[in-house]
Chain A
Amino acid sequence: MTGSGYFALLRLTEPEIMVALTGLLVLVLDLSLLRRTSLAMRFRGAVIASSIGCAVALGALERLPAQGSWPAGMLVVNPLTQLVQAALLVLAILILLLVDSARFTTHVGEYCALMLFATTAMMLLVSTQNLLVIFITIEFLSLSLYILTAFDKQSRQSAEAGLKYFLFGGMSAGILLFGMSLLYGISGSLSLGEVATAVNRSPGDPLLTLAVVMVVTGFGFKIAAAPFHMWAPEVYQGAPTWSATLVASSSKVASFFALFVFFYAGLMGAAGSAARGNYSVGWAPLIAIVAVVSMLWGNLAAIAQTSFRRVLAYSAIGHAGYMLIALVAHSRQSFVSLVYYVITYALATVGAFGVLAALEEEKLDSIADFQGLSKRAPDLSFCLLIFLLSLAGIPPLAGFFGKFYVFVSALEDHSGLLWLVLLALGMSVVSFYYYLKVLKQAYVSEPATGAAAIRVRATTRIALWVTAALVVLLGCFPDLLLDRIATALH
């Protein structure tokens, strides 16, 4: 469906509108009906309402026409964007179910609404190919995330993390915008399609080089790739657990997707090659450098961490490195592998943070706090086992297949990328060490004396089990997701 009538626009953005409206509705609901009830009740009500909203949006997504666009690439709807949007909504529902265990604030409605607004922004981000809209949605997303990060007003760490995130984010947004303005200057258009034409005409333009560097910096911040990762450990550690979950999972999905689309649809002409023996200048070598730095720094720095959240933050940097390998290869197949990787990665991350959320009252932070978890909460620690092993890339979990497929697709088109793949394999051995350190505390160490069994809320338990089941299922039968991605891409 292509049209310029506003009705057509409304029709194409129906799911996003529904999520945004749900956000407003939750605000009103919390202010009116739920005001006099207990905090637990308010959280439950808001979570239920928000989840239903997301589920309805998921239904609306199904009814959407398969193809649709709005002039200048402002809105591009196709099966692939719908698939990623569906993944974002599923992640949002899982995270919202976890929010049920939150008690840190009395601004329940605002918190849930912001989560929904962030989700709306991500959904818009994946379905656009227009420089301006990309920038606006990234800003929309970032603003929601800044607030979510700093939401715990009683915690100094939360405020510090929020401020740090905001300062770094503001800076990188400026750089990204500068890069985009240069692209606009080169092509005279905001549409990525037009940019691609201009880039193909003069791939060696020095302005283009500058623009590419700026864009890589801006996106590098969003995806927490080293050396633009400084905010990540702080935010992962300081933000309320549920906010950190959103930052670590679905915002990564949206950002990586947007990043790939940006380079794939807009800058393909200036790709160059990072393959050994076939090197040529372009953004692929630049991304390869970022990938190498991320893999090395993320994995090595994670070894030294004592806080579990910081381990997750540094491991996220390392994972960003693996995923960037797919971008270095920039083929159709590597696109498929990236989407699979980032979705399964987000699931495992939601799970790992979900375990933290379930343990919120324990005030867990250091890895040592996990000792004896398998005794105190057997099913929680089993879920943790699955999530961490998936992140480490142990078959038959989804994380393993994700890595395998990224490597295969990278090598299939550029066998010269073997050096990058070997480095990634070496680093995944390193990563195994620090994930295992956490699991060792949970399973090998005995619980501290007097440590009681931990009660886990039913909703949290459901969310964790569903996530764990998805991680196992997608690992054993990756075709369930791969087929969809591949058919959507055609």
Chain B
Amino acid sequence: MLAWTIYLSFIGAVAVTFTPGKSPVVARLTALLTTIAGLGIAIAAVAHDRSGQMITIVKAPWMPRLGIEYHLAADGISLVLVLLTGIAAVAGVLFSWNIERRVKDFFALYLLLIGAVYGVFLSFDLFLLFVFYELAIIPKYFLIAIWGSTRREYAAMKLVLYSFAGSALVLAGMVAAYVVSGERTLSLDALAHFPFSTHFQMWAFPLVFVGFAVLAGMWPFHTWAPTGHAAAPTAASMLLAGVVMKLGAYGCLRVAMMLFPRGLDPWGFRVLGFGSWQEVFAALAVIGIVYGASIALVQKDLKFVVGYSSVSHMGFVLLGLMTLNQIGLSGAVYQMFSHGIIAGLLFAVVGRMVYDRTHTRDLGDLSRMPLARLIPFAAVTFVLAFMASIGLPGFSGFIAELEVLIGSWRAFPWMAWIAGLGILIGIAFSWRALQATFFGEPTTTPDQVVAPITLPERLGACLLLASTIVLGLYPRVLMNLILPSLNGPLFEHLRRGDWR
């Protein structure tokens, strides 16, 4: 059943292309129905599966000569991210209701991207995962290059070249794992239990981890993210920050850490104070947290503020992954979900509600407009979104970042301090952005009018807000899926002495 999220999205992409007539309404509705169906399936699956263990959906030989299988399956972590994709996909369609140019192409590429993302989260054969992962690159390029804004062609090319370079590293690791194991299999399940030599894991792990982390926005490979987010059309920024960056983080966990857990062991010597890849990547994650927040603090373009805040928040995901304890890892997965929703919301307000109406994202210009009075709905949404983003209790971001902080406190106490500093800077830049956008000192004439907030926008914002609040108040819905997966047999070798 869950596999139909993928198939439906691809079918939807084809259907949109062949919708009759010039009217954009049919194309939009087709896309909306497709994504709603996907979300429905995802919700049904989450409601149905309470175990969090790996459940195979389809498993058939695909390329028997090489032992490659068409293996779709889901464990708790996949389910969480599939649910995220479902929500983000519906919201994205609602927030791109005003796209008028090449509507069919837009939604076809959009659905193609969604289908590929579902595919990555549900693949349990590395080859299949990689196919979907690469398949997601092409639509991203065209979505940004055709419908984007600021320096779109540059940003699109930069984004796909970064992604492609990252996936080249992943491919190298994949080929190496295939050859070294000699088992003629790329099944994640089998490889997770294969005893790769520590020496091999020591170099395969960073290769694959960095390959995926490029897409997760790890400093210093994050530079594609702000430019890409800023240039992309609203729905694409929502997906990029909300879902595509999670592809990277998911790959880090599912492939790099699950297959090569020994790569995180101490090297046995120290270089520049670092004694293992775990410490190196944790440090990079913390740098990302503080760096992203600091840069966001001085940006003039509202979208860049949100773009850099994504880098900062994704730093929490990576830091959580590197803690290697149960609370940190579950916090990282929760943060993937939470940030996916919140980043989607922020980009929706910035790109759709504000920019499409005012045609400026410059904080100085925005502060001279009486936006809070003109579009109060947007102001409320934005305030709530930033509250969620800085991790106030009651929103999903709180649970996630708290868990990551606790986890990192256990693993590397001083890094938790710096990450905490990052949160403070986060409050500062959120405050600055909010104030400038909605609570500035209007100088323009009070009779200025902007288009009112439309119904699709309201629906989309409500969907995202509801998700972050429900999961902030009742985290067990997802935690019950995440924890059993992390404690399941797939992550057996990742669990150490200090695993709690």
A436 in contact (CB, < 8 A): yes
Q: Given A394-B137, A433-B157, A436-B141, check contact A425 B179 (CB 8 Å).
A: no
Q: In the bound complex, what is the Cα–Cα distance between A436 and B135 (angstroms)? A: 14
A465 in contact (CB, < 8 A): no
Q: Given A433-B157, A478-B63, A486-B65, check contact A440 B145 (CB 8 Å).
A: yes
Partner of B175, one of A394, A395, A411, A443: A411
B348 in contact (CB, < 8 A): no
Q: In the bound complex, what is the Cα–Cα distance between A412 and B161 (angstroms)? A: 29
Q: Which residue of A lies closest to B203 (CB)?
A: A418
B273 in contact (CB, < 8 A): no
A362 in contact (CB, < 8 A): no
Q: In the bound complex, what is the Cα–Cα distance between A408 and B171 (angstroms)? A: 10
Chain B min CB distance to A418 (Å): 7
B20 in contact (CB, < 8 A): no
Contact A429 B63 (CB under 8 A): no
Residues of B within 8 A of A418 (CB): 176
Contact A432 B171 (CB under 8 A): no
Q: In the bound complex, what is the Cα–Cα distance between A405 and B178 (angstroms)? A: 11
Residues of A within 8 A of B497 (CB): none
Q: Given A396-B131, A404-B171, A408-B178, check contact A429 B142 (CB 8 Å).
A: no
Residues of B within 8 A of A436 (CB): 141, 157, 160
A453 in contact (CB, < 8 A): no
Q: In the bound complex, what is the Cα–Cα distance between A408 and B126 (angstroms)? A: 14
Residues of A within 8 A of B172 (CB): 421-422, 425
Q: Which residue, A421, A433, A444, has most C-beta atoms of chain B within 10 A?
A: A444
Residues of A within 8 A of B146 (CB): 443-444
Contact B171 A443 (CB under 8 A): no
Residues of B within 8 A of A429 (CB): 161, 164-165, 168
A residues 407-446 with Cβ under 8 Å of B? Answer: 407-408, 411-412, 415, 418, 421-422, 425-426, 428-429, 432-433, 436, 440, 443-444
B450 in contact (CB, < 8 A): no
Contact B175 A408 (CB under 8 A): yes
Residues of A within 8 A of B66 (CB): 405, 408
B residues 157-196 with Cβ under 8 Å of A? Answer: 157, 160-161, 164-165, 168-169, 171-172, 175-176, 178-180
Residues of A within 8 A of B176 (CB): 411, 418
Q: Which residue, A418, A426, A432, A482, has most C-beta atoms of chain B within 10 A?
A: A432
A483 in contact (CB, < 8 A): yes
Q: Given A408-B179, A425-B171, check contact A443 B164 (CB 8 Å).
A: no
Q: In the bound complex, what is the Cα–Cα distance between A447 and B172 (angstroms)? A: 39
Q: Which residue of B lies closest to A422 (CB)?
A: B172
A residues 324-358 with Cβ under 8 Å of B? Answer: none
B interface: dominant SS? helix
B residues 107-135 with Cβ under 8 Å of A? Answer: 127, 130-131, 134-135
Contact A432 B164 (CB under 8 A): yes
Partner of A394, one of B63, B64, B134: B134
Contact A395 B65 (CB under 8 A): no
Residues of B within 8 A of A361 (CB): none
Residues of A within 8 A of B63 (CB): 477-479, 482
Residues of B within 8 A of A425 (CB): 168-169, 171-172
Q: Which residue of A lies closest to B179 (CB)?
A: A411
Chain A min CB distance to B261 (Å): 22
Q: In the bound complex, what is the Cα–Cα distance between A482 and B138 (angstroms)? A: 27
B279 in contact (CB, < 8 A): no
Residues of A within 8 A of B178 (CB): 408
B401 in contact (CB, < 8 A): no
Q: Which residue of A lies closest to B175 (CB)?
A: A407
Interface size of A as a range: 20 to 34
Residues of B within 8 A of A394 (CB): 134-135, 137-138
Q: Which residue, A394, A395, A443, A477, has most C-beta atoms of chain B within 10 A?
A: A395
Q: In the bound complex, what is the Cα–Cα distance between A358 and B262 (angstroms)? A: 55
Q: How many residues of B contact A (CB 8 A)?
A: 30
B75 in contact (CB, < 8 A): no
B residues 54-80 with Cβ under 8 Å of A? Answer: 63-66
Q: In the bound complex, what is the Cα–Cα distance between A440 and B141 (angstroms)? A: 9
Chain B min CB distance to A471 (Å): 15
Residues of A within 8 A of B179 (CB): 408, 411-412, 415
Chain A min CB distance to B103 (Å): 14
Q: In the bound complex, what is the Cα–Cα distance between A298 and B36 (angstroms)? A: 47
Contact A400 B160 (CB under 8 A): no
Residues of B within 8 A of A389 (CB): 138
Type the 1/0 row for B402-414, where 1 means its CB is closer than 8 Å to any CB of A.
Answer: 0000000000000
Q: In the bound complex, what is the Cα–Cα distance between A466 and B64 (angstroms)? A: 26
Contact B164 A479 (CB under 8 A): no
Contact A444 B145 (CB under 8 A): yes
Residues of B within 8 A of A396 (CB): 131, 135
B153 in contact (CB, < 8 A): yes
Type the 1/0 row for A464-490, where 1 means its CB is closer than 8 Å to any CB of B.
Answer: 000000000000011100110010000
Q: In the bound complex, what is the Cα–Cα distance between A428 and B168 (angstroms)? A: 8
Residues of B within 8 A of A479 (CB): 63-65
Q: In the bound complex, what is the Cα–Cα distance between A389 and B112 (angstroms)? A: 16
Contact A400 B134 (CB under 8 A): yes
Residues of B within 8 A of A477 (CB): 63
Q: In the bound complex, what is the Cα–Cα distance between A247 and B474 (angstroms)? A: 66
A residues 359-397 with Cβ under 8 Å of B? Answer: 389, 394-396
Q: In the bound complex, what is the Cα–Cα distance between A421 and B178 (angstroms)? A: 14
Q: In the bound complex, what is the Cα–Cα distance between A418 and B171 (angstroms)? A: 12
Q: Which residue of B lies closest to A395 (CB)?
A: B131
Residues of A within 8 A of B160 (CB): 432, 436
B residues 214-246 with Cβ under 8 Å of A? Answer: none
B residues 335-349 with Cβ under 8 Å of A? Answer: none
Q: Given A429-B165, A436-B157, check contact A404 B134 (CB 8 Å).
A: no
Contact B168 A433 (CB under 8 A): no
Q: Which residue of A lies closest to B61 (CB)?
A: A479
Residues of B within 8 A of A408 (CB): 66, 175, 178-179
Contact A421 B130 (CB under 8 A): no
Q: In the bound complex, what is the Cα–Cα distance between A64 and B131 (angstroms)? A: 39
Q: Which residue of A lies closest to B141 (CB)?
A: A436
Chain A min CB distance to B391 (Å): 37
Contact A443 B142 (CB under 8 A): yes
Residues of B within 8 A of A443 (CB): 142, 145-146
Q: Which residue of A lies closest to B161 (CB)?
A: A433
Contact A421 B157 (CB under 8 A): no
Chain A min CB distance to B131 (Å): 4
Residues of A within 8 A of B134 (CB): 394-395, 400
Q: In the bound complex, what is the Cα–Cα distance between A394 and B161 (angstroms)? A: 13
Q: Which residue of A lies closest to B142 (CB)?
A: A443
Residues of A within 8 A of B65 (CB): 478-479, 482-483, 486
Chain B min CB distance to A433 (Å): 6
Contact A432 B135 (CB under 8 A): no
Q: Which residue of B lies closest to A428 (CB)?
A: B168
Residues of A within 8 A of B145 (CB): 440, 443-444
Q: In the bound complex, what is the Cα–Cα distance between A323 and B498 (angstroms)? A: 49
Q: In the bound complex, what is the Cα–Cα distance between A479 and B63 (angstroms)? A: 6
Q: In the bound complex, what is the Cα–Cα distance between A16 and B376 (angstroms)? A: 79
Contact B135 A395 (CB under 8 A): yes
Chain A min CB distance to B448 (Å): 32
Contact A432 B142 (CB under 8 A): no
Q: In the bound complex, what is the Cα–Cα distance between A425 and B138 (angstroms)? A: 18
Q: Given A443-B146, A444-B146, A483-B65, check contact A421 B164 (CB 8 Å).
A: no
In the A-B complex, the 4 residue pairs with the closest CB atoms: A395-B131, A425-B168, A411-B179, A444-B145
Residues of B within 8 A of A (CB): 63-66, 127, 130-131, 134-135, 137-138, 141-142, 145-146, 153, 157, 160-161, 164-165, 168-169, 171-172, 175-176, 178-180
What are 16 contact pairs spanning A and B, CB under 8 A?
A395-B130, A395-B131, A395-B134, A411-B179, A412-B179, A415-B179, A425-B171, A426-B168, A429-B165, A436-B160, A440-B153, A440-B157, A443-B142, A444-B146, A444-B153, A482-B65
Q: A411-B179, A425-B172 are in contact. List 11 more A-B contacts (CB 8 A).
A: A394-B134, A394-B135, A395-B134, A395-B135, A408-B178, A415-B180, A429-B165, A432-B164, A436-B141, A436-B160, A479-B64
